[in-house]
Amino acid sequence: MNSKELPADTIVKRMWNHQLEPIKVMLVHRKKDLSTEEWLRFVEVTRNSILQHPDQYLVSHFESEGILKPLVDKIFEDFINDLKD
């Protein structure tokens, strides 16, 4: 791999992060109406829904390659951490 190429998981994470942007916007909007604990539960339910039904949220053939859970977990971890700042 030359220095300009990105690992496949980085490319997929960027693609999925972009595809999940409308979901993240909705989550940010709901944050105003819920307590922190309720909102974190709502985020977790949403994340679990994506993991259980990726075809409803993500356009990709990579779900079967064992990267779905780690990448979705990382996207949500980054999302929550970004909101804390």
pLDDT digits (tens, 9 = 90+) for 22-77: 999 999 999 999 999 999 999 999 999 999 999 899 987 665 567 889 999 999 99
pLDDT (0 to 100) of residue 53: 92
> Quick one: DSSP state of residue 76?
H
Distances (CA, A) of 43 to 6, 26, 30, 61, 77: 29, 10, 10, 24, 10
State pTM to two decimals. 0.84
pLDDT (0 to 100) of residue 67: 84
